[in-house]
Amino acid sequence: MNTDLETTLPLPTGDRDALRLRVQSQLDAKTKPLGALGRLESLTVQLAVALGTDQPALHAPQMVVFAADHGMAARGVSAYPAEVTRQMVLNFLAGGAAVSVLARQHGLALTVADCGVAAEFEPHPMLARLKVPGAERGTADASRGPAMSDTQCRTAIAQGRRLVAGLPGNVLLLGEMGIANTSAAALLMVRLTGEPLGACTGRGTGLDDAGLAAKRAVLAEALAANAQATHPLQALAALGGLEIATMVGAVQQAAASGRVVVVDGFITTAAVAVAAALQPAVLAHCVFAHCSQETGHSRWLKHLGVQALLDLDLRLGEGSGAALAWPLLESACRVLAEMASFASAGVSQRTS
């Protein structure tokens, strides 16, 4: 493996425990029964700690949809053909996808990162070209050998870091698009958690029972073909995807620059899980927006020790769940900034 890339980035330091206690006591002084805002309160505290401030405020939120193609798509592991990746990128750019609608609704800046889609797109103000040399049209078929070389994987990580370093704001919302990428994410889940393949493999875009059985058989081949890839970075290169590797770098850079990361579904969780395997402290920056319907997601969230905000039976990807959860993050900041305290509003405190 070449060594021209640090595996992790230094994260901001500070007395997180003291900050956590200060923010919780500010919340406790607000005009509500103690703890009555439930998990919104823990979200407020998490945002304060992630941003390193007693007065968390979110600005210039950036939704990035990381897109790439997968060699394994040729093995029939998805209900849809591989060209949908390219077609959906055009749909994102034209403003017609679910994430386009939700980003507009919530004032999220939308960038589409071409991490290796099998197409060359016309330049567009929303499009970032992050193709990796030798993998411009996507990964190799992981059922026959490594999806990426170590160098390609490291290049993708470096590009994700660079992209985020150049974006404004203090929140990154993760989205992705890539036909067959639930296969890559399932393989990473098996390797990182040790869970059995069956518990990690779902229907993705909507495979029927026979399709799901065939997908599992292909994924078993991929695990056997890449049996030696056990370190998280090796697993990422062998079993992952270009959009997932680029997201790993994006998450690392966002955490290193003290931002909040809003995680979408199963595939974005794969990227965060790799980043967390390399450096567990990145998890403090990650808000898990929703629990996807994709088999494995709820179990993976448990492995990571996190709880998602929403459970809407979503299985779309694109960052749609992250965009839907966005107003909760805004509310979490606003209750802290704008609610009156018992003292300021002249409301009587509890008696017992």
Ligand X SMILES: O=C(O)c1ccc[n+]([C@@H]2O[C@H](COP(=O)([O-])O)[C@@H](O)[C@H]2O)c1
Ligand Y SMILES: Cc1cc2nc[nH]c2cc1C
Binding site for ligand Y (CB under 6 A): 80, 84, 88, 177, 205, 316-318
The alpha carbon of 49 is separated from its chain's Cα centroid by a whole number of angstroms, namely 19
Residue 258-287 contact track with ligand X, rule CB under 6 A, x = bound: ------xxxx--------------------
- Count of CB atoms within 10 A of residue 339's CB? 16
Q: Which is nearer to ligand X, 181 or 193 (CB)?
A: 181
Candidate list 136, 176, 318, 338, residue with the active-site label: 318
> Pick from ligand X, ligand Y, none: which does 292 bind, CB < 5 to 8 A by kind?
ligand X
Q: What is the DSSP string of 297-323?
A: HHHHHHHHT---SB-------TTHHHH
| Closest by Cα among 232, 235, 237, 231 to 134 | 237
Closer CB to ligand Y, 91 or 193, in the complex? 91
What residue has token string 């990035």?
A: 64
- Choose one: 56-64, 172-180, 192-200, 225-233; the region binding ligand X (CB under 6 A): 172-180
Residue 266 contacts which entry, ligand X, ligand Y, none (Cβ below 5-8 A, type-dependent)? ligand X
Q: How far is the CB of 65 from ligand Y (least distance, A)?
A: 9
Nearer to ligand X, 26 or 320 (CB): 320
With CB under 6 A as the rule, give the number of residues binding ligand X: 24
Indicate the residue among 56 and 204 with the shorter CB distance to ligand Y. 204
Active site residue 318: yes
Instruction: Round to whole Å and give the CA distance between 44 and 218.
Output: 43
Structure tokens at 343: 């003292």
Residue 214 or residue 220: which is nearer to ligand Y going by CB?
214
Are the C-beta atoms of 145 and 71 separated by less than 8 Å? no
Q: Is 177 one of the binding residues for ligand X (CB under 6 A)?
A: yes
What is residue 241's three-state secondary structure? Answer: coil
Other Cβ atoms within 10 Å of 133 Cβ, number: 8
Q: How much of the chain is in helix, strand and coil states, percent to nearest 5?
A: 50, 10, 40
> Minimum CB separation from ligand X for residue 214, in Å?
12
Of the candidate residues 44, 205, 252, 279, the single one contacting ligand X (CB under 6 A): 205
Using the CB atoms, write b or e for 293-323: b if 16+ within 10 Å. Answer: bbbbbeebbebbebebbeeeebbbbbbbbbb
Asked if 246 interacts with ligand X (CB under 6 A), we say no
- List residues near ligand X by CB under 6 A: 78-80, 176-183, 204-205, 264-267, 292, 294, 297, 315-318
Report the catalytic residues. 318
